[in-house]
Amino acid sequence: MVHALRASSPIAFPGILDNDQRKHGTLFFGMPVLGGYEVIPSLAGPGVGFVSLVTGSTRAREETGRGIEAAGGQLVNFIHPSVDTYMVTLGRGIYIQQGVHLGAQVDIGDNSSIHIGAVVNHECRLGRSVFVAPAACIAGCCEIGDGVFVGANATVLPRLKIGNWVTIGAGAVVTTNVPDYAVVVGSPARIVKFNKP
């Protein structure tokens, strides 16, 4: 699901985009569902941006971000005003909810999403299309690959490298580096399978 966001002042939200044709012409929390990717060219232009609110799947989030851009839409950041981004490097298309704490020299890749109460500590680097669930904690100096899903209340200990497209289960405590495509759960976290594309 994608918000069409007008970046000029005042900010206006003309509606929601969803590729499910059954939802077209309906309301979602009082906002009209305008259509899917096919309406992006008619909406795109100066002062108009798009924000992906896809959160359940990092693969779906990546596909949505790429789909918006391919249709001519410009991804913009949607960050709650309570979030301090001083000394933080932000990509495009980032969605950050309230109560998120970002440490100094954090670098967040394009199309990533960080949810309520999460902590990303100093000198961490998050790749593209990363999802950090509520109350998760990524300790300092970690490198998080593209498409990583960090579950609710999960903890990644300092100075670890998490590979691309890793899934970290809710409540997991990651104590060692994790290879690409691994699914890890538990405390300490252990690999239970691989989700290769």
Strands 137-138 and 155-156: parallel
Q: Which among 3, 101, 115, 122 is annotated as catalytic?
A: 122
From residue 35, alpha-carbon distances to 8, 14, 17, 50, 147 in Å are 22, 12, 5, 14, 26
Helix, strand or coil, per DSSP, at residue 135: coil
Query: What is the H or E stretch that residue 111 is in?
Result: none
**Which has the closest alpha carbon to 109: 61, 154, 153?**
61
3-state helix vs strand vs coil in the chain, percent to 5: 10, 30, 55
Dist CA 154 CA 104 (whole Å): 21
The question of whether 115 is a catalytic residue gets the answer: no
Dist CA 59 CA 140 (whole Å): 26
Helix, strand or coil, per DSSP, at residue 78: strand
* 40 neighbors 52 (Cβ within 8 angstroms): no
- Catalytic (active-site) positions: 122
